[in-house]
Structure 1
Amino acid sequence: MEYVYFLANASLTLRVVEYLHGMPQLPVRLMTVIHQIDGWVIKIKTYSPLTPQQDGDFRAFMNELGIPYEPAIRLQMALWSLETGQSPIEVMRRYQVAVVSHGTPDRSDIEAFRQQFTRGLGYCPETLA
């Protein structure tokens, strides 16, 4: 199963990572995090289908933080390219997207991106809060 959501800021994205780390019964295969000017797109893919209860609980959690998202074709192609093994740098160049993290849900990738981006701008935009 896969879930694609749009989140408003980095704090919400980090809450998803923490949730996934706290729920070892969820068979998460990979999580992709992409930063856009107006927010964050995350894609979570599982090894196997969730039970109806797990699916409902996970969707309820995600719907509290963000909204289900249908990416535009360029972003769909970027997500697909990452899943087929292309390097994040290659995908960023080809599709002009900011791939923050791909693979195991990782808080440190998101934190590092937020710090570098904020340092470069000299202030913290709302999406990085």
Structure 2
Amino acid sequence: MWERDVPNLKNPEAASLLIPNANGAYCSGGAEGPLTCTAPEYGIVNYLNYQFRPNAMLSIRSEFYDDFKGQRFGFPTDYSENTIGITWFVGSVIEIRPEARFDYSYEVPAFDGGRKWGQFTFDTDAIFFY
């Protein structure tokens, strides 16, 4: 995918073109570069699910994402994400899904405000069907 006419964060004159709650891009050319540029990105994801009990399933997810100009996440770098989780059905009304996830940025530290290369996340959710 890509977005065109994205304000260049390196060019101070492009600050007036920024839209609230939208990111600019790190375009080529530095401060003397164009006011806007095209910001491409791509990603690929893989899911592997294994049902090990009639009411439980193991899920493994791997993703690779390249934010060429930092317009999507604020840092121009490649990212990977790996998640492992379990889906447990409690009867026919409740679904509980704990998971552990690790994200990593390859070219610049992109987590914790640009201070860390990766981050772990542990979470769970419950879905109630009605």
TM interval, shorter chain, is: under 0.3
Higher strand fraction (1 or 2): 2
Higher helix fraction (1 or 2): 1
> Normalised by the size of structure 2, how large is the TM-score?
0.23
Point out the structure with max Rg over C-alpha: 2
> Normalised by the size of structure 1, how large is the TM-score?
0.24
Q: RCO (CA 8 Å, sep 6+): is it higher in 1 or 2?
A: 1
